[in-house]
A and B are shown apart, each in its own frame.
Chain A
């Protein structure tokens, strides 16, 4: 479904990622593991069209999306919950969700259904639907970010560190919902430092270190890899 081929990105003279190869198949949950600054978010920015690679190609459903602008990539069916969440903080929860459905703005009925679906996944958002997004707690903001992404009815959803800064119990809930969304048919690409939680739901993973992929493998292979266990699971 999505393939990154030898993608490299430079910020000025600094090479943020080099020769990254990732393949995501339809219906999978794939995780990118790695420390801060290892290149996970940069890869996501490249896929979303926010940073342009100077080398390599990105294919989505067999077609190169390198030349597409960020808004066209959303229309093609790739949406990202970025790490900073990027909510519209002074808008209400409901308005944020509505903006999430921007590319479907003429389909009133569909927007209504998607919104009900989001409220089913995250009942707390329904309760707070008239509150400003900026007034929500960190966990609720993350839920809203995921909900807003769902509103565009993507084929592929990228989640950049959805667990960052959240209490363990909330993280567990968050991953349960991510798994549920995946079971409903959504392909998911996840970036995480929390390998423990991520590998529970992912089928395959890539490990980033200073801008390159150093290891890749199925969940079982990664869990069996001593180095990965030491570095990212702590056991």
Chain B
């Protein structure tokens, strides 16, 4: 029983990270209508930014995260400006190729600047807490709380503010958004800013319990794709719930099936969902 609860808690931790990454991916999918393969590279850049801010400049963990979120968000905006915006009228294949290009570029860039070593990110939250016979580190608790706070804030922003609603409107009908007077260029930039920020936050939170290295985004981004297919492409609740579903499946699978097969669970889920309900679990009906 203790093991089960402990594993559920772990699932909540990994699920939180997955959800944050998948959210950014799903938001940008609404704008580009292609999966942004470079999202994993933004995740990786976020990890390195926070790491550098902490170790080189001696900033506090939270300040370092803030800088990384802003910097990677701006990197996302640059990607939109210089790569995806000029390609907006090109066939979708061009976007995909460009996204992979950005991914390779950023990875080589990280390799060049920081080298290929595995780095450990320090954290001020190493304390071990014990509640009801469960032991966990503050960092893990922090991941869950921070992720949930950000998701609630993002949801309020998208649902309650006009600016947020423009993102949803544009993802549902780009021309319709244009016709009601929304500046679609600005909305696209804003979406990339948020998406990059979420990726940086996710990696900054997760890095202290994982490691920082140039390929750290690979597995995360593949799983994020599984999540948004699971939840329905472009669906925001789908990305959140999908993230947690995958988090729980992985941590329970690691315990009760085999730790070696942990990473395969995502892809088994992918095969299952594509066989049974290819539109995803949380897609609302209704077409114009």
Contacts and interface: CB of A to CB of B under 8 A. Distances in A.
A132 B284 contact: yes
A95 B168 CA distance: 11
A88 B169 contact: yes
Interface in B253-288: 284-288
Contacts of A90: 172, 284, 286
Interface in A88-128: 88-91, 95, 98-100, 102-103, 105
Interface in B138-197: 162, 165-166, 168-169, 172-173, 175-185
A132 B184 CA distance: 23
Contacts of A133: 286, 288
Interface residues on A, range: 20 to 34
Contact of B165 (A87, A95, A135): A95
A126 to B, nearest CB: 19
A70 interface: yes
A102 to B, nearest CB: 5
B180 to A, nearest CB: 5
Contacts of A141: 288
B286 A102 contact: no
Given A99-B165, A132-B284, A91 B172 contact: yes
Contact of A87 (B173, B181, B182): B173
B17 to A, nearest CB: 27
A49 B26 CA distance: 29
Contact of A50 (B175, B285, B286, B287): B175
Given A99-B165, A99-B169, A102-B166, A85 B180 contact: no
A152 interface: yes
A37 interface: no
B184 A85 contact: no
A61 interface: no
Contact of B172 (A80, A88, A135, A152): A88
Contacts of B177: 88, 99
Contacts of A40: none
Contacts of A69: 183, 185
B173 A86 contact: yes
Contacts of B173: 86-89
B181 A71 contact: yes
B180 A134 contact: no
A107 to B, nearest CB: 11
A98 B284 CA distance: 21
Interface string B179-220: 111111100000000000000000000000000000000000
A74 interface: yes
Nearest to A86: B176
B287 A89 contact: yes
B285 A135 contact: yes
Contacts of B168: 88, 91
* Residue picked from B162, B172, B176, B184, most chain A C-beta under 10 Å: B176
Contacts of A71: 178, 181-184
A88 B176 contact: yes
A48 interface: yes
A204 interface: no
Please name the 4 residue pairs, one residue from A and one from B, whose CB atoms are nearest each other, closest first. A134-B286, A74-B181, A86-B176, A103-B181
Interface of A: 48, 50, 69-71, 74-75, 79-80, 82, 84-91, 95, 98-100, 102-103, 105, 132-135, 141, 148, 151-152
24 contacts: A48-B178, A48-B179, A50-B175, A71-B181, A71-B184, A74-B180, A86-B173, A86-B176, A86-B288, A87-B176, A87-B288, A88-B169, A88-B176, A89-B173, A90-B284, A91-B168, A98-B162, A98-B165, A99-B165, A102-B162, A103-B181, A133-B288, A148-B180, A152-B181
Given A74-B181, A134-B288, A148-B180, 17 more contacts: A48-B178, A50-B175, A50-B178, A70-B184, A71-B183, A79-B181, A85-B288, A88-B169, A89-B172, A91-B168, A91-B169, A99-B165, A99-B166, A102-B166, A132-B284, A135-B285, A135-B286
